[in-house]
């Protein structure tokens, strides 16, 4: 596992969504609300599981409305990855553009 990996754009989006603890379904609904694009539940859970394996996200089981659910929340390494990703994509957005001279 590479500790300084830059999150993919999709990982970055999901990390932002699990700053607040959410179920996978809640992540999918929030993703659709934010992007106006559907992300299949299978994709959401696969990405969350991969990010948990990388140590970016924690999960725990809970019971809601009599049903077992898994809740996901970003961890400290995930926050660092989120910040790395934000910095990387911000810098990339200006790649190749002429530098403005101060003044």
CB 15 within 8 A of CB 51: yes
CATH assignment at residue 13? 1.10.10.10
> Residue for token digits 């929030």?
30
Number of structural domains, the chain?
1
Please report, for residues 11, 63, 64, 74, the alpha-carbon distance to residue 67 in angstroms, rounded to integers and kept in the order given: 27, 5, 5, 23
60 within some domain: yes
For residue 66, tell me if it sits in a domain: yes
Portion of the chain with pLDDT greater than 70, in percent: 95
Domain presence at residue 97 = no
pLDDT at 25: 96
- 13 in a domain, yes or no? yes
pTM of the model: 0.85
90 in a structural domain: no
Domain span at residue 56 reads 9-84
Whether 89 is in a domain gets the answer no
Decide if 93 is inside a domain: no
Helix (H, G, I), strand (E, B) or coil at 37: coil
pLDDT at residue 96 tops 90:
no
Q: Is position 34 within any domain? A: yes
* Neighbouring C-alpha atoms within 13 Å toward the C-beta of 83: 5
Tell me the two tokens of residue 40.
Answer: 């299949």
pLDDT band at 86 (very low <50, low <70, confident <90, very high): very high
Sign of CA dihedral 69, 27, 85, 80: negative
Each residue of 55-71: pLDDT tens digit? 999 999 999 999 999 99
């Amino acid at each position: 596992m590479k500790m300084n990996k830059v999150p993919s754009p999709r990982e970055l989006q999901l990390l932002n969504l699990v700053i607040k603890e959410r179920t996978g379904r809640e992540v999918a609904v929030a993703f659709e609300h934010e992007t106006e694009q559907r992300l299949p539940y299978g994709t959401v859970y696969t990405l969350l599981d991969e990010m948990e394996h990388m140590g970016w996200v924690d999960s725990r089981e809970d019971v809601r409305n009599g049903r077992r659910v898994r809740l996901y929340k970003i961890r400290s390494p995930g926050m660092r990855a989120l910040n790395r990703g934000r910095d990387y994509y911000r810098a990339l957005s200006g790649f190749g553009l002429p530098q403005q001279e101060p003044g």
